[in-house]
Amino acid sequence: MFDAAARHLNFRLAAREVNVTQGAVAQQVRRLEADLGCKLFRRKARGLELTDIGRSYFGPVRRALAIIDDATDKLRPQGATLKISVTPSFAAKWLVPRLSAFEQANPGIDVQTVATEGLADFRTDSVDLAIRQGEPPTSDGVRVEFLAPLDLCAVCSPGYAETIGPVRQFADLTIHRLLHDGHNHWARLLEEAGLGTQTGHVQFNQTALAIEAAMNGQGIALVPWLLAEGDIARGKLAEVWRDSRSGSNGYYMISPQLQNAKPATHTMIEWCKLQVGTRARSG
C-alpha cells in the first residue's frame, strides 16, 4: 500500500486503487513507519508529501514492484490471433462445427476464419494457415502438412437410398440423378470408367450445397468423406458407395515457412490432425 500512497500522495485515492478503506491504508502506512522507525510521509492540509527518507525508499520499492509485475506478465498466458483460410464448404461442414471445441481447449487463441475459394497469399493476406483440397502444393517458402485423403463417397438421403436399391459397382450410380459440385468429381470418375457424360444432373458451385441437396432427397452427391461424415453419423446422409482407390489428392494444411511462426499455427495444425485421427478411429 505504500507504493500506491506514494504515487497518489493521497490515502483516499490509494485506497480506491487497492480496493480497501482509506483507514486501512493509513493504518498500514503507520505500521510500516513504526517498523522502519522513521516517517515516510508528511501530512499536509491537502494530501501528503514524501519525506526525504520516503523519497529515497520509494524509488527502490517502485523498481522492485515493476520487476515483479514484468515477471508475472511473462508467466500469464498471452492472447493470440490465428487467421485461417479455408474453402466455404470446408468451413461449413468441418471447421465451424468443431471451433467451439478448439476454443475450449485453447482459450488464449482467437480464431479468425476466412472462407474463400481463392488461393491464400501469405505475403498480402495476413493468413497464418490455409487448408485446401487438391494435390500437395509445391511452392517455395511454405510448409505443407497432410490432413486427410480425398476419400470420395457417394451420399444421398436415407429415404433416397431405400429407393435406389443396392449399389454393387460405380456404374450402378449412373442411372440415378447425380448432384455435381465445382470439383467435377462425377465427370472425372465417369470418364475414367468409360461411361461418358451423363444427362439430367444438377450442378452446384459448392460442395456444401451438393451435400444439402442430397440430404433433401434431390439425388446423389459425390463428395469427400471428411465433409460428409458428420451428417452420415447423425443419420442425415446415407453412404451408398466409396472410392477405395488412394492417391495424393487430399486435404493439406499450408503455412508460411518461417522460423518464428506463430505457436498458435502449430497448435491448430496438431489439433486438426488429432480431430481427423480421432474421427477415423471411431468411424
Write the pLDDT tens digit of every residue in 36-67: 999 999 988 778 899 999 999 988 988 888 88
Q: Is 179 helix (H, G, I), strand (E, B) or coil?
A: strand
What are the percentages of helix, strand and coil residues in the chain, rounded to 5? Answer: 45, 20, 30
DSSP bridge pairs for 132: 252
Domains and CATH numbers, the chain: 2-75 (1.10.10.10), 80-150+248-282 (3.40.190.10), 152-242 (3.40.190.10)
Q: What is the mean pLDDT of residues 204-218?
A: 96
Q: Given pLDDT bands bounded at 50, 70 and 90, which one contains residue 81?
A: confident
As a whole number of angstroms, the distance between CA 89 and CA 182 comes to: 11
At residue 253, the pLDDT reads 95
State the DSSP code for 91. I
Cell numbers at residue 261, please?
Answer: 511462426
Q: What is the mean pLDDT of residues 186-201?
A: 83
Q: Given pLDDT bands bounded at 50, 70 and 90, which one contains residue 78?
A: low
Q: Give me the residue label for grid cell 439425388.
A: 219
Q: What is the mean pLDDT of residues 92-108?
A: 94
State the DSSP code for 119. P
Query: Which is higher by pLDDT, 16 or 259?
Result: 16
Contact 207, 128 (CB under 8 A): no
Q: Given pLDDT bands bounded at 50, 70 and 90, which one contains residue 259?
A: low
What is the residue-averaged pLDDT of the chain?
A: 88
At residue 137, the pLDDT reads 80
Q: What is the mean pLDDT of residues 121-140?
A: 84
Q: Say whether pLDDT at 282 is over 80.
A: no
At residue 277, the pLDDT reads 83
89: exposed, middle or buried (Cβ count in 10 Å: 0-12, 13-18, 19+): buried
142: exposed, middle or buried (Cβ count in 10 Å: 0-12, 13-18, 19+): middle
Residues near 272 by Cβ (< 8 Å), separated by ≥ 6?
131, 147, 253
As a whole number of angstroms, the distance between CA 66 and CA 230 comes to: 52
Q: Say whether pLDDT at 283 is over 90.
A: no
Q: What is the mean pLDDT of residues 135-157?
A: 90
Q: Is 228 helix (H, G, I), strand (E, B) or coil?
A: helix
Q: What is the mean pLDDT of residues 130-159?
A: 91
Neighbours of 56 (CB within 10 A): 11
At residue 8, the pLDDT reads 86
As a whole number of angstroms, the distance between CA 232 and CA 241 comes to: 13
Contact 58, 29 (CB under 8 A): no
The count of C-alpha atoms lying within 13 angstroms of the C-alpha of 43, restricted to the half-sphere facing its C-beta, is: 4
List C-alpha distances in Å: 172 to 179, 206, 223.
Answer: 15, 25, 17
Neighbours of 166 (CB within 10 A): 7
Q: Say whether pLDDT at 184 is over 50.
A: yes
List C-alpha distances in Å: 58 to 6, 11, 17, 34, 144.
Answer: 7, 16, 17, 16, 55
